[in-house]
Structure 1
Amino acid sequence: MVRAKAKGWDAVGTPIPGNVTACLDEIGLDYKVNGDEIHMPCPMHEARTGKKDKHPSFSINSDAGYFNCFSCGYRGPFVVLVKDVLDIPYSDAAVWVRGRGGIERVKKFLAKKQPSQVDTTKHINEASLALYVTPPLAACAERMFFPQDAEAAGVLWDPKRDMWIVPVRCPDTGMLWGWQEKNSRYFRNRPNSMTKSKTLFGLHTYEDDLAILVESPLDVARLRAAGYKAGLAAFGAGVSDAQMSLIRDHFDTVVIALDNDKAGVEACARLRKEWVGRGLTLRFLDYSHTSAKDPGDMTDSEITYAVDNAYSSVLARF
């Protein structure tokens, strides 16, 4: 079931506290502060998923008060966090927040509003994702996954421009570095300067023991629809040493599932040459049974066959 988008959160009347960290202390949550972002395990993760948040996936912007768990999709304004953690009605939570120096969120943003020609992405934080929603069913169906797969993988949607939004995060803290915007006609990194080669999409949301490395973050959602919950995306065929080291830090074995084209085959050959014997078992996706270019073009049964029959680094031929 697709989680309905809450309405009215950004309207006048949504309070945020004058001191977010003081309020977190008061409601009994442990956290770490990194600039304007506050990080912690998601306080509602177990209630929503049945599992504890093993990788700190939750952050709050100390300025805007907006929170987001990029693992389970729990997100909203600070007053909703208070409501859920204290298990009280929304109206009581709003009174609680306003009683602690609350100000109107919309007024705070209007006071800092920049001219439209200024690139505000240099001030990126979790509140920047507040405009984006769970991808619609029609867009997901074209990619052969469901909205819940996109949500679990951390993929969002810009409803105003019909565009995929792919967050890019720090591999260590999960802090938002920026995002990719793309559809069939448009692609852009925001900001242009973010270094995708030092991180992996899916690193903070995986749930399985077997890593599967693909090129596109949207293929991570496709793998989830096929039953594989440890998809990682390198944002292209140019897999870096830093990205491979991150995989080795988290997994014993990885199935390299780069695209079945010239760039992907050459990248696989390079990875086999450079990474065999470095503490990570490499296997390579079997494309022999399909004409698909990547896992995103395969059926569920084709993906299962390709993963189950992945070549060892000894048998692979490039």
Structure 2
Amino acid sequence: GETMTMAPLIINGKVLVGNSGAELGVRGWVQALDLKTGVSLWKAYNTGPDVDVKIGANFHAFYAKDQGVDLGATSWPGTLWQQGGSTSWGWFTYDPTLSLFYHGTANPGVWNPDMRKGENKWGASVIARNPDTGEAAWAYQFTPHDGWDYDAISESIVGDVMVDGVKRRALMHVDKNGFGYTLDAATGEVLVAEKVGHTTWAKKVDKRTGAPSVEFGMRPHEGKTTHNVCPTPLGVKEVSPTAFSLATGLQYVPAINFCNKIEPLKAIYIAGTPFMGVNLGFSDAPGDFMGELVAWDAGKGKRAW
């Protein structure tokens, strides 16, 4: 069932935490506990109807793909969102300038994407929230209908970044899916999205729509094995955090260099047991290295070295 692996974040006398267990058919959530008493002050789910996700009148997603009513439920078949994973087991970020905190969400469950037709919101996403109320301000889904285990739980760093000659208050996030994203921290607009490492599942991210362009034949399906999928469920970067230097203006990324083959399988949900449905086989990506340290220019979407 549920576990907890993330480091709590304390904001304004509130302890913000999230759950783990996307491979066990749990339902992802974040909540705020009173620092002195431990009493739950609010709880927001990452899947389900808007009232559960705390999406209300003040929610403004930048892209049409992330706009609509009750997407956390209607983008799933039936009630599978109740076992939809999308946990927040990684790093949280707070920006006192905008009074928002940001949390990523894990892969949607079950791993077999054919069992959960739809975009499966809000899995593989980042959500900006008011830390005092939990109310969502905006959300952006990095990997709609994730079939590759591309959790978006890696840390995001907030800072001022020069993009096209303009200083932007930005959210810098190197995702498991291989892309380095620079988002407008106030709105969720994609300012930059480029490949950090060897990435074959998608060609690019369309900044007009915010959606990735998935390469032909790279979507896993039950009954076949998809080969040469890069990166793996380890990601181009997973939980090992990046760092941002004010002196150089660069983000330093501990990157991973692997590919894999994916064979989705039918899975049956039994509470408290793995709910996955997949066979994986890892292989080396091109090059003679398994990992590297990358200096990333988040304003340009390029490697400095």
Q: Which has the higher contact order (CA 8 A, sep 6+)?
A: 2
Per the normalisation by structure 2, the TM-score is: 0.27
The structure carrying a bigger helix percent of its residues is 1
Quick check: which one's strand share is greater? 2
